[in-house]
Every structure is written in structure tokens, then in C-alpha cells.
Homo-oligomer: A and B are copies of this chain.
Amino acid sequence: MSQPLPLPGFADVEAAAGRLSGLVRRTPVATSSGLDAELGARLFFKCENLQKVGAFKYRGASNTLAQLSPEALARGVATHSSGNHAAALALAARVRGAEAHIVMPRDAPAAKVEAVRAYGGQIRFCEPTQAAREQALRELVEQTGATFVHPYADPRVVAGQGTAAYELLTDLPDLDFLLVPVGGGGLLSGSALASRGLSPRTQVWGCEPERANDAFLSFRDKRHHPAHPPSTLCDGLLTALSPEVTLPIILREVDGILTASEDSILLAMKLIWQRMKLVVEPSGAIGLACLMEQPERFRGKRVGIILSGGNLDLNPMFSALKARSDSLASS
């Protein structure tokens, strides 16, 4: 849609960290002595579930908005997404007084539509196909002149996502490993850039569901593999790497990709909820899930894990509680 920007480097992550100070939340690092004892490692969880809009995506969206000219801001921003990026772009735009246009399929879950609306996003519905989505976005950009902000294939987004690892490695420069969820690769490539600049000896690994292991295959074969049909709970990790932006950075900067089964993801997620009292979404638990599948690799090590987000449908829990409350009342 426009001239490709050069690939980002550490300096871009560092500049983003400065730019975003005060605009994004400096999220806390959580620890659990119980989990450490059971897994034989020292774990440091970077709580991006506590970021604004409940996900790291707010960093990349804010870093992009902060670099638009007043003229571009006046024309607004646009994206097609039904996930955390849409909510993040909507709020980042509102904070700058700009409009955010979000293309969403007609069959998007009501909760996701509501989240985008709550942050002030303008929704344009389309048929639920990739072609209709792209067509709707093209029309929207032509009509409004809005700037398209891709969820990950954009150097400004990558640099912004890298600020989570930048903060973590500023606080804890001596990590042996950094485990990062990988879907489209924005968070992973940004984290790798941050790590190479701040702590070159830290190994950076991408973490991915077995059932959506296209990044694993792309890394192994050093060529782009497309996304699988969705079959994992990790709805934030379904997309494939971008051949132009995130794949080249990941091939150059990342040490490897780990995968985990759905059962491991559920177990890791439950441990984070139970022991740390933190609501993380399935995609956010993938780092711990991968570590638990290969504990020997991490034994005695200091491991940073990015909890990427905490947005998921809580209705099953609250329906059960409501049913229990009703039965207590009548007993």
C-alpha cells in the first residue's frame, strides 16, 4: 500500500521505549517461588496481560500513532482484525484524538465487537472471507485516506512490541532465556531486537502451539510457511510470519522455536491462574507451556516469559458461578 520501510533495529526499539514512556503501562514482573521450586528454574513473567487493552498490542499501535503527522492523524487509521490489535489501535487512536476504522467480519464474536466499540473504534463489517476483508479495507483507505496499520508487518509496530522485552531486560539484564509467543512475529522479532541490544547472551526463543506450528516450520526450513487452518485455543497465534518484515528478523536474531500441545497450554494457563492469580489468555500461556514440555533445557536457568495478553471469554466461569448461586438460594 506504500513504500516498504527499512527493517527495524535495536535503535528503533530504544527510540520506541523513550517515545512510549508515559503512554503505555510499564507492566510489572511477576514471580512464583512455588513454580520456581517445581520447575527447577527462576521464572520472571512480564505481565502484558496488565497492559492497556489487556495485551502487548497497545505498544505497537501507540508507537505507530506517535509517529504519524498531524495531517495523517486527521485522516485516521485503519486495520482489519478482530483481535487485540483492533482494540489496541482503537484506544491508541482515541488517545491521539484520531479515528480508528476497523474492518471486522459480520460473524465476529459480540464480545470482540463490543471491545472495539468501547475504545471508540468505528467498525465496518464485511463478509467473513479474507478477500472481502482486504477489499473492504482498500475501499475504506481510499475513501478516508486513513493510514493502514498492519498488526505485525510494520517496522513501527515491531519496534513498539519490542519495548516489553526492553523493559524486562532493563530490569533483569542477566536472563539466560527469553520465551516469547509467536503468531505473526511482531512481538518475537521486536523482543529479539531488544535482547540483542541489551543482553546479547540471552537466548530468545519463539513459542508456538503445535497445532499452529508454521513459525517452527518457517524457521527450520528458512522459508515462509503459510498459516494452518485454526485448530488451537491460542486465537492470538493463528497468523503466519510476514515474509518481508518479521521472518527475516526472526531468522537472523532468534535462537529457535519451541512448540507445545494444547494440553500443556491448558495446564500452563491453569497454573498461572491458580498460583499467580493472573488472568491470561491461552496465547499468553504458551511460553510456560513450552518450558514445561522441556524442563531439562531450563533447569537452574533464569528465564523471562512474556505473558502476552489476558483477553478471553469468561462466560463459562461466570455461568457456572451464577448457577451455583441460584442453587444455593433455593436449597
- Is A277 an interface residue, CB under 8 A from the partner? yes
CB within 8 Å of B: which A265-307 residues: 266, 269-270, 273-274, 276-280, 282
Number of copies: 2
The reply to whether A231 and B328 contact each other, CB–CB distance below 8 Å, is yes
Spot the interface stretch: A7-15, A163-171, A240-248, A316-324.
A316-324
A314 near B314 with CB under 8 A, answer no
B233 touches A325 (CB 8 A): yes
Closest residue of chain B to A328 (Cβ to Cβ) is B231
Q: Is A211 an interface residue (CB 8 A)?
A: yes
| A54, A277, A279, A321: residue with the most chain B Cβ atoms closer than 10 Å | A277
A266 and B322 form a contact (CB under 8 A):
yes
Which one, B54, B231, B270, B321, contacts A331 given CB within 8 A? B231
B316 contacts A270, CB within 8 Å? no
Contact B314 A316 (CB under 8 A): no
Q: A274 contacts which chain B residues (CB < 8 A)? A: 279, 314
Q: A210-226: which residues lie under 8 A (CB-CB) from chain B?
A: 211
Which A residues, 55 to 80, have Cβ-Cβ distances below 8 Å to chain B? Answer: none
User: In the bound complex, do residue A266 and residue B318 qualify as a contact, i.e. CB atoms below 8 Å apart?
Assistant: yes
Measured CB to CB, the closest approach of chain B to A200, in angstroms, equals 32
Of all chain B residues, the one with the shortest Cβ separation from A320 is B316
B28–A270 CB distance below 8 A: no
Interface centre among A28, A266, A274, A329 (most CB of B within 10 A): A274
- The docked-state distance in angstroms from the alpha carbon of A270 to that of B273 is 14
- Rounded to whole Å, the gap between the CB of A116 and the closest CB of chain B is 15
Question: Are B232 and A277 touching (Cβ within 8 A)?
Answer: no
Q: Are A321 and B211 in contact (CB under 8 A)?
A: no
Q: Given the known inter-chain contacts A317-B314, A317-B317, please indicate yes or no for A277 contacting B54, CB distance below 8 A.
A: yes
A310 within 8 A of B: yes
**A307 vs chain B, min Cβ distance (A):** 9
Task: List the B residue with the shortest CB-CB distance to A318.
Answer: B270
A211 to B266 Cα, complex, angstroms: 35
Q: Please report the C-alpha to C-alpha distance between residue A175 and residue B19 in the assembled complex, in whole angstroms.
A: 33
Which residues of the other chain, B, contact A318 by a CB distance below 8 angstroms? 266, 269-270
Asked if A126 is an interface residue, CB under 8 A from chain B, the answer is no
- Of chain B, the residue at the smallest CB distance from A314 is B273
Residues of B within 8 A of A113 (CB): none
| Alpha-carbon separation in the docked complex, A282 to B320 (Å) | 13
Using CB atoms, name the residue of chain B closest to A51.
Answer: B277
**Per-residue CB proximity of A18-51 to B under 8 Å, as 1/0?**
0000000000100000000000000000010110
12 A–B pairs (Cβ distance < 8 Å), ordered by A? A50-B276, A211-B329, A231-B328, A266-B318, A266-B322, A266-B325, A269-B318, A273-B317, A277-B278, A278-B279, A316-B317, A316-B319
